[in-house]
Amino acid sequence: MKFKNVKRIASLGLAVIMSAGLMTGCSSSVESGDSAAKTEETAKEEESVKAADPIPVRMIMYGEESPRMKELMENEIYQKVLEEINVELELDYLPWTEVNGGKTELMFSAGEKFMCFTDTDFTSKMVGKGYFADLTDVLEANAPDLYANSDMEANIKQFTINDRIYSVPIGNKPNAGEDYLIMVRKDLMEEVGVEEINNIEDLENFYTLCKEKHPDYIGLGRSLKHTIFNGAIESDKNVLFINSFVFTDGNAEIDSTLYSYYESEEFKQACEIAKRWREMGIIPSYLLSNPQQSSSEFAAGRAMFAVGANDRIFEMMSSLRATVPDAVLENVYLGDISEKPLMTRGGYNTAYAISAAVEDPEELAAYVKVLNLLQKNQEWVDLWTYGIEGTDYTLTDSGSVERICTDEILPSWLCVNTKFRRYADYITEEQIETFNTQADGSIMFKNAGFVFDTESVKTEYAQLQTVKSEYLDPIYTGFKDYDENIDEAIEKLKDAGIDKYVAEMQKQFDEFMKNKAD
């Protein structure tokens, strides 16, 4: 990296100059009294910090590094981080298929030093294996801006196990309906004369009309999540997933009952919709074998809709308009929101975990300091999101962003904070209003703050993951018929220990709900 040796030489040179200056001034320091002594002591302390060797920090991102981000990481961003917190920041990229598993988990198990995205489920799993660093004693002191600019006290509860903090939530925005909404191409709706989509029949009709005009388009881009069917299935439960195996009723605020998802009527109904979608062509033939292609089709403007979230439309419109300049996305919910209100996990965007291999407290603090920079102030958020003002973007009089360089810096959703939010110039006031009011009437995840300790069922959990991948995912995505394959899949779940797994989670969740009520 271009600045690495320059910084070290400059630091050492400055240390020599300062030392010489201090020696020259010795004869007059006696006359200056205590004040001069304190000034000299402060200068020494500051110079000691400047002369200290920078601490290397490795951050894993997912996707592909853009050419512009590569330039910034070799120059301006690298240098600015170095000057601000004396850290040599390195970014490495993995495919999105490796998030919360795959190569990422292998890197943790190999004892590599790095930090990456996580969620509550992955945190629980990795803490059970001893792979995540305990951040309790270093977080608050080294992330003051995260605490000042977001509701950290509430957010960290979701990543706390046995009163110890294992992940750092980032961001501050309304998240109601995340993955329960569908992002639909509004421009395509207008093209085929569809005014609104309120239910699954409307969506399927839109697909049929759009397919006639664009036979090379797919219906569902990116991935499939059964959460989007929550409002469409006939169930009195507002399905709230604890993880992929277990759910509870989000509407039943004080009821701690858990349900095995793959053994439920809700799963059956969702699979029937998925099977119909696969037969209609809404779900592309390669979704299981090559999910990245489905994401690529969406990014290229050849998909009609995708699993959505309140804020996700801004991120997706930004990338989509690089290939389809007039593309517009709109979030829709397939059902009656009064019966099954949108639910929210809280106000963070994502969370970062740091490898347990980072053991030295000073080194661990350096990792946290980098995360603090993601939310430090407007200047830093703009840098991470848009790059250099005047080179990569300009600001209008109203504060909207006009991109000069459309390359992604960090993902546009990563640093989103309502305190520092800027919108692209093509975002309408109606879209902004929808974003700000989407959470109105929503309900909080009743499991917010619950982190399942998998230690006593880690063997069962590993076995269940294998069964899920081999036997359940093909049913889940509509590639295999539910009625013809579910009995074998459930038998494999039983053999893998699903009953013990659910019972252990139920015990912990009962205790969690009891403590919350108290």
Q: Digits of tens for pLDDT over the chain (518 positions)?
A: 433 433 333 443 434 333 444 343 433 443 444 545 545 554 554 455 455 899 999 999 999 999 999 999 999 999 999 999 999 999 999 999 999 999 999 999 999 999 999 998 899 889 989 999 999 999 999 999 999 999 999 899 889 988 899 999 999 988 899 999 999 999 999 999 999 999 999 999 999 999 999 999 999 999 999 999 999 999 999 999 999 999 999 999 999 999 999 999 999 999 999 999 999 999 999 999 998 899 999 999 999 999 999 888 888 998 899 899 999 999 999 999 999 999 998 889 999 999 999 999 999 999 999 999 999 999 999 999 999 999 999 999 888 899 999 899 999 889 999 899 998 888 888 888 888 888 888 999 999 878 888 889 999 999 999 999 999 999 999 999 999 999 999 999 999 999 999 999 999 999 999 988 87
The predicted pLDDT at position 206 comes to 98
Rounded to whole angstroms, how far apart are CA atoms 201 and 146?
A: 43
In sign, the C-alpha dihedral spanning 474, 478, 484, 490 is positive
> Could you tell me if 171 and 415 are in contact, meaning their C-beta atoms sit under 8 angstroms apart?
yes
Kindly indicate whether the domain formed by 181-346+422-444 is annotated with CATH number 3.40.190.10: yes
Non-local (6+) Cβ contacts of 346 within 8 A are: 151, 154, 155, 158, 169, 175, 444, 445, 448
Burial class (CB in 10 A: 0-12, 13-18, 19+), 47: middle
Burial class (CB in 10 A: 0-12, 13-18, 19+), 506: middle
**How open is the CA angle 432-433-434, to the nearest 5 degrees?**
90
Q: Classify 181 as helix, strand or coil.
A: strand
Query: Domain 54-171+349-403 belongs to what architecture?
Result: 3-Layer(aba) Sandwich (3.40)
Rounded to whole angstroms, how far apart are CA atoms 424 and 314?
A: 8
DSSP designation for 96: G
The domain limits of the chain are 54-171+349-403, 181-346+422-444, 455-517
Cα 70 to Cα 65, 67, 74, 116, 402, distances in angstroms: 6, 5, 6, 18, 21
The predicted pLDDT at position 128 comes to 86
Rounded to whole angstroms, how far apart are CA atoms 83 and 172?
A: 26
Fold equal for 54-171+349-403 and 181-346+422-444: yes
Q: Which residues pair with 403 in a beta bridge?
A: 393
- Interstrand relation of 246-249 and 259-260 (parallel, antiparallel or unpaired): antiparallel
Cα 156 to Cα 206, 331, 346, 443, distances in angstroms: 41, 28, 10, 19
Nearest to 160 by CA among 435, 448, 394: 448
Per residue in 139-171, is it b (16+ CB within 10 Å) or e — as a string? bbebbebbbebbebeebbebbbbeeebbbbbbb
